[in-house]
Amino acid sequence: MKAMLLRAPAPVDRSPLTLETVADPRPHAGEVLIEVNVCGVCHTDLHVVEGELQAAVLPLIPGHQIVGTVVEVGSGGDASLLGRRVGVPWLHRTCGACAECDSQRENLCERAQFTGLHCAGGYAELCTAAADFLVELPAALGSDSQVAPLLCAGVIGFRSLRLSNVAPGQRLGLYGFGASAHIVIQLALAREMEIYVFTRSRQNQEAARRLGAAWVGAPDAVPRVLLDGAISFTPAGATLRTALERVRRGGTVACAGVYTDPIPQLDYQRHLYHEKVLRSVANATRQDAAELMTEAAAAGVRTDVEEVALAQANDVLVRLKHSQLHASAAVLRIR
């Protein structure tokens, strides 16, 4: 099969991914083999390729927003999966036996493995995946390219929305307006929240207004009211301090990124007192993914995507890094 291989992490401007022909993978017991139709391109892929997240094995095939068709099941597997359109998310598998797994917090499993980090991902014509961690994809969600961003940008945004503790009718701030925020604003509006968007990009500001934001401004702007909670999608640590200044007493700021640069020193009285909360959002559970797909289908969520060929993975990662995509998200079209 053809695949984009990462042999050594490097800045994406140096084109560290190479298009190569490699052996077809085979599914083990408990796994399935998937013909990859599309694979979303995510900021997490960027962190892996550039080495900010350390790949467990090299060479590695990145990619973890996979939509494809099951073409083979491992020994003893469920034959009814054959021919089914499925999604493969960031969470590849967990141990199922630790305290976190036992307490329905499998996203915090210390032995968790992640697609495109610990095992081969979807920048390829074929991939294997753990059958128990596949995501069912309602037909109402739309085309494969429409669905792919939901598998990471969507599911982490969905979990962040829940952990922001913002209730229907309250005010939610979104810092950064990439693929995840484009999905979250649609979910939040369906829950009748009032949305405040902070982004430098004129293009993203216009998109936020079109999607129904009540207020749009630069990241350091001060809206006329305090927010009930906020989500930061940016890797800029300084944004978290700013967001804490914009939320009311008892408000929560959820950090949706898997990576952020250092957070500047916080002033206790100004940023945290009055029971304000700053919390990270780490990965997501299978339940998060299942609930998102149901809610996204009911809310009519649509993603804004740009399709590119597999061989263009380096180029699209460069444009993602420099905020030069032609849409809010990009997907590699494999077949």
pLDDT tens digits along 118-166: 999 999 999 999 999 999 999 999 999 999 999 999 999 999 999 999 9
Of 280, 296, 322, the domain-final residue? 280
Across the chain, what does the average pLDDT equal? Answer: 96
Does the residue 296 lie in any domain? Answer: no
Mean pLDDT of 81-87: 97
- At residue 262, the pLDDT reads 93
Question: What is the percentage of the chain residues whose pLDDT exceeds 70?
Answer: 100
85/209 same-domain check: no
Could you tell me the pLDDT band of residue 220, with boundaries at 50, 70 and 90? very high
Q: What is the CATH number of the domain that holds 115?
A: 3.90.180.10
244/310 same-domain check: no
274/313 same-domain check: no
Does the residue 260 lie in any domain? Answer: yes
Domain containing residue 122: 2-136+304-333
d(CA 173, CA 228): 8
* 258 pLDDT above the threshold of 90: no
57/20 same-domain check: yes
pLDDT digits 0-9 by tens, 278-334: 999 999 999 999 999 999 999 999 999 999 999 999 999 999 999 899 899 999 999
pTM comes to: 0.94
Q: What is the CATH number of the domain that holds 219?
A: 3.40.50.720
Residue for token digits 């020193």?
Answer: 265
d(CA 131, CA 116): 16
d(CA 152, CA 63): 10
17/95 same-domain check: yes
Does the residue 291 lie in any domain? Answer: no
257/323 same-domain check: no
- Per DSSP, the chain holds a count of helices (H) and strands (E) of 9, 17
d(CA 115, CA 126): 13
Does the residue 110 lie in any domain? Answer: yes
7/86 same-domain check: yes
131/158 same-domain check: no
Sign (positive or negative) of CA dihedral 116, 120, 121, 124: positive
6/132 same-domain check: yes
Mean pLDDT of 51-60: 94
Mean pLDDT of 195-216: 96
According to the 3-state scheme, what is the secondary structure of 139-201? HHHCCHHHHHHHHCHHHHHHHHHHHCCCCCCCEEEEECCCHHHHHHHHHHHHCCCEEEEECCC
Angle between helices 153-163 and 286-299 (to 10 degrees): 100
Does the residue 311 lie in any domain? Answer: yes
Single-letter amino acid, residue 54: Q
Q: What is the DSSP letter of 212?
A: T
120/173 same-domain check: no
Single-letter amino acid, residue 260: T
163/95 same-domain check: no
Number of structural domains found in the chain: 2
Residue for token digits 């390729």?
Answer: 49
Question: What is the percentage of the chain residues whose pLDDT exceeds 90?
Answer: 96
First-residue to last-residue Cα distance in the chain: 12
Of 280, 295, 315, the domain-final residue? 280
275/312 same-domain check: no
- At residue 259, the pLDDT reads 82
Does the residue 297 lie in any domain? Answer: no
Does the residue 261 lie in any domain? Answer: yes
Does the residue 149 lie in any domain? Answer: no
* 68 pLDDT above the threshold of 90: yes
- At residue 257, the pLDDT reads 86
Of 280, 295, 324, the domain-final residue? 280
d(CA 285, CA 132): 12
